[in-house]
Structure 1
Amino acid sequence: MRRICLTLPTNRPCTATISAIGEEAAYAARHFDAEVHLLILDSCDTPAHAEHADAVRRLPHDPRIVVHHLDETQQRDFLRRAIERAAATKPDLLLDLMLPDRLSYGACTNRAFLIAAALGCESVHRRDSDSRYQTVNGETVFPVHHELLSLGRRASDAADDVTENALAPEHAGKGVAMVGGSFVGELSVDIGEILRIDPGVYHDMVSLWAPGHWSAEQKRQLVEESFRGAGTDPFAEDHSTLALVDPMRVDMCNIAFHGVHERVPLPPATDTIGSDYFLIHLVHDAALPGVLHNRNIVNFYTGERRTDAGFVAYQLRFVKFLLSMLYFNFVYDRMARDGGALLDDEGHVRASAVARLAAESAGLDTGENVRRLDALDAAYRQLGGRYAEFADLLGQRRERLLDEARGDIEDFALLVETWGPLVDAARLTAVPPTPGRQS
């Protein structure tokens, strides 16, 4: 029986999502003879955590499903013991990178990777608390269906269970490292209001994602594809493709990894959207097989983003994402050039190669990011209202944001270097129990 980790990191109330992911766990156990470790990493305040605990207790018991509901105190305890076991040279810094005091999309998923290793799980399947599953004719469309059909299998074998095989023959002997889908509904990044106010400003801002040397046409195509997922069309019937999956076609709310997540972590940058997408690019650039499916998840926005504080926080995360691309565009370009050289003789990603590229990128001239901030300042002021007020805040934090972007890539390089020993240590570290739920 294969053992998998289905994980839900959350920092917001989401009892309905907990119930739904419990149903997905039951589907996986029932249809694929899997032992499912349902891992809820809870960073909520006490009242929300208590609501989640009640939702966990209400999940139907199944001997093939083990539920782990861990608050940040329990997560920190696990991390501290794993880091000590790994004999890391900078244990306090590592703990901060794994469990920072600010929001980090990459760090929360890295914690899931380590805890999955401790639980003996061969794969990690991630969902998000601000999304839900599609339902067709009363049946819920669970992404884990395609994930367990293909993940970890030799690509030549997985080809029998997909709709379309677009993988070149030279990759047929490799294992499927990633299975993913996308989302339907609202934009994955909450900037739709900017598009409604001024499409030209929206184009100028989103195009800052691209490398500075790209042509106007390349930037236009990027803007058209960005943050839209699979659009709005609902699920009708299954379609899956075995391929080197285009990173623009999958989303981290609908993803599963096998093997690669134990070699390289995600960037632990704080307050930065998109910081958890690195492995999607790595799988593609290293020419590791993946499967793209259409069991897309429905994305929605929570009310917190509509508050004044939520608006400022989210715009800062968007700005930090754009600044991070100075470094990641460099790394992605070099990874694409290296291709199969990113793999060792056994077909595993060489973490040392990734760490080297990340460290090298930290030495880039920041002039491109200065120009990004100039362009953002002009764009926000043109939008007016609360966007112009945000431009004032952006001006006050300008130097700090430039420094943080560089520091974030340096932290990532360090974490990649230490990830292998940390995963090995995690395998020998006990996970705190969830009363009444573990068997």
Structure 2
Amino acid sequence: MRRICLTLPTNRPCTEAISDIGEEADHAAGHLGVEVHLLILDSSGKDAFAEHAEVVAKARRAPNVITHHLDETQQRDFLRRAIRRSGAAEPDLLLDLMLPSGVSYGACTNRAFLIAAALGCRSVHRRDSDSTYQVLNGETVFPIHHELTSLGKRAADAAGGVSETVLDPAHAAKPVVMVGSSFVGELSVDIGEIARLDNDVYHDVVSLWAPRHWTDEQKRELVEESFRGAGTAPFVRDHSTLTHVDPMRVDMCNISFLDEVYERVPLPPATDTIGSDYFLMHLVHDGTLPGVLHNRNIVNHYTAERRTDAGFMAYQLRFTKFFLSMLYFNFIYERMAAAGAALLDDDFHVRPETVAALARQSAGADREENVHRLDVIERSYRRLGGRYAEFAETLASRGRRLLEEARADIEDFALLTEAWHSLVRASRSTAVHRPAGSADVHRPATSTGMHRSSR
């Protein structure tokens, strides 16, 4: 029976999300013929973790659903053992990149990738703790239906299970390595207030996403479609397309990858940076690998924490560092797009050495473009006033350090990519759950029973 990993990383209270993803796991195991490893990577505080553990303990999951609820201590223990087994030259640095002290969207998903390898899973299906599912006629609309219909099949074989195909027949022999959709509801980043306060400032700030050499028209088009997902229209009927999936049409709250991608290249482990977990979408698209875009969009909502002063400041920092990261990612994306199918070997596997080399080359990009980005954000936020002006003050004092951090982040990505093969290989023979007091011995994943853990 095929094993899959359905994962929910979280650092906040989210009992409803845990219940919802458990139901999706039950649906997959009960209707789609797979063994589901439901992986909750929990970095939340003691009280929230206890609430989550209670939800997990009380649930009566379907047969062939195995739940793994891991706190950071348990995650760190697994990582330390896998890294040691890999023989990596800088084990402490790699551990920091895999489980940093700051928030890292890429690192939390990288942990899911390695744990999925340890559990013998063929794919990872990621959801977020600040989202939920749509409902039609009393039935929950689970994205995993489309993911398991196509993921891992040759494109030629997957064509019969989708609504339409817009893929050139030249790609028919390649595997479908990514299936995803987007979201409806609130913007994927919490910047709607900026648009309401001053639409010109909104345009100036969001256009910083683009390479500086883009035309005004290209930037305007980017601003108009950025962070909006699939809008607000509710789900009414299924539609799926076999294609080269545009990264702008999918979101990490609603995505799945085949192991042939994530076991070769990790996500950038940048801290306090939104968007650091979107890299593989671009790699799949630019590498001409097939994917499926469906319309079972997830509902995005904001948590109360973002509305606090501390939450606001933290989020604006992540938003700013996202723009600074684009100096390097735009460099990489343009060269990946030019390389196209040359990013793949003869067996249609992505070439990690090419990705690592591009990341290292990008680190030498002229930082003047990022100095400009900081200037625009600081000037624009001062114009908005209030909390935005307060944040602008922090940029004035932290700007030079943020420039250094952005470059260090891309260098870390290159280093992690170079070490990734050995980490994945070591993870495959490392037990996720180590009984108290036991030595580090490999235990193959089991298809029966429920693994539960708590602090």
Give TM-score, length-normalised by structure 2: 0.95
Instruction: Report matched runs for 1:356-395 at 5 Å.
Output: 356-395=357-396
Partner residue of 1:174?
Answer: 174
Point out 4+ residue stretches in structure 1 off by more than 3 angstroms: 433-436
2:219, 2:433 → 1: CA distance? 47
Partner residue of 2:268?
Answer: 267
Find out whether 1:291 has 2:304 as its counterpart: no
One-letter amino acid of the counterpart of residue 438, structure 1: H
Q: Give yes or no for contact 1:68–1:434 (8 Å, CA) kept in 2.
A: no
1:274-317 per-residue CA deviation (whole Å, 9 max, x = no partner) reads 00000000000000000000000000000000000000000000
Partner residue of 2:230?
Answer: 230
From the superposition, tell whether residues 379 and 223 of structure 1 become closer, same or farther in structure 2 (CA, over 3 Å). same
1:77-115 per-residue CA deviation (whole Å, 9 max, x = no partner) reads 000000000000110000000000000000000000000
Partner residue of 2:159?
Answer: 159
Partner residue of 1:250?
Answer: 250
* CA shift for structure 1 position 248: 0.2
1:158, 1:224 → 2: CA distance? 33
Partner residue of 2:450?
Answer: 437
Q: Give yes or no for contact 2:22–2:61 (8 Å, CA) kept in 1.
A: no
Q: Give yes or no for contact 2:30–2:62 (8 Å, CA) kept in 1.
A: no
* CA shift for structure 1 position 63: 2.7
1:48, 1:387 → 2: CA distance? 30
Give TM-score, length-normalised by structure 1: 0.99
One-letter amino acid of the counterpart of residue 277, structure 2: D
Partner residue of 2:125?
Answer: 125
* CA shift for structure 1 position 432: 1.6
From the superposition, tell whether residues 425 and 204 of structure 1 become closer, same or farther in structure 2 (CA, over 3 Å). same
One-letter amino acid of the counterpart of residue 36, structure 2: V
One-letter amino acid of the counterpart of residue 99, structure 1: L
Between the aligned residues of both structures, percent identity stands at: 72
Q: Give yes or no for contact 1:25–1:36 (8 Å, CA) kept in 2.
A: yes
Partner residue of 1:63?
Answer: 63
Q: Give the unaligned 5+ runs of structure 2.
A: 437-448
2:173, 2:191 → 1: CA distance? 42
From the superposition, tell whether residues 434 and 232 of structure 1 become closer, same or farther in structure 2 (CA, over 3 Å). farther
1:167, 1:421 → 2: CA distance? 34
SS at match of 2:314: helix
Partner residue of 1:41?
Answer: 41
* CA shift for structure 1 position 59: 1.6
Q: Give yes or no for contact 2:266–2:416 (8 Å, CA) kept in 1.
A: yes
1:271, 1:417 → 2: CA distance? 23
One-letter amino acid of the counterpart of residue 289, structure 2: L
1:170-202 per-residue CA deviation (whole Å, 9 max, x = no partner) reads 111100010000000000000000010011100
SS at match of 1:298: strand
Partner residue of 2:446?
Answer: none
1:227, 1:159 → 2: CA distance? 30
2:325, 2:154 → 1: CA distance? 35
One-letter amino acid of the counterpart of residue 32, structure 1: L
* CA shift for structure 1 position 438: 2.7
* CA shift for structure 1 position 434: 9.7
* CA shift for structure 1 position 31: 1.2
1:148, 1:194 → 2: CA distance? 39
1:293-343 per-residue CA deviation (whole Å, 9 max, x = no partner) reads 000000000000000000000000000000000000000000000011111
1:437, 1:35 → 2: CA distance? 12
One-letter amino acid of the counterpart of residue 314, structure 2: A
1:139-175 per-residue CA deviation (whole Å, 9 max, x = no partner) reads 0000000000000000000000000101011111100
Q: Give yes or no for contact 2:68–2:451 (8 Å, CA) kept in 1.
A: yes
* CA shift for structure 1 position 386: 1.2
Partner residue of 1:396?
Answer: 397
SS at match of 1:397: helix
Q: Give yes or no for contact 1:124–1:257 (8 Å, CA) kept in 2.
A: yes
Q: Give yes or no for contact 1:57–1:437 (8 Å, CA) kept in 2.
A: no
Q: Give the unaligned 5+ runs of structure 1.
A: none
One-letter amino acid of the counterpart of residue 450, structure 2: R
1:438, 1:164 → 2: CA distance? 40
Find out whether 1:97 has 2:97 as its counterpart: yes
Aligned residues: 439
Partner residue of 2:442?
Answer: none
* CA shift for structure 1 position 433: 6.2
One-letter amino acid of the counterpart of residue 146, structure 2: H
One-letter amino acid of the counterpart of residue 415, structure 1: L
Instruction: Report matched runs for 1:4-153 at 5 Å.
Output: 4-153=4-153
Q: Give yes or no for contact 1:183–1:296 (8 Å, CA) kept in 2.
A: yes
Partner residue of 2:410?
Answer: 409
1:2-39 per-residue CA deviation (whole Å, 9 max, x = no partner) reads 11000000000111111110100011011111000000
2:58, 2:137 → 1: CA distance? 25
1:235, 1:63 → 2: CA distance? 29
1:349-395 per-residue CA deviation (whole Å, 9 max, x = no partner) reads 00000000000000111000001111111110111111111101111
One-letter amino acid of the counterpart of residue 420, structure 2: W
1:413, 1:401 → 2: CA distance? 19
Partner residue of 2:443?
Answer: none
Partner residue of 1:337?
Answer: 338
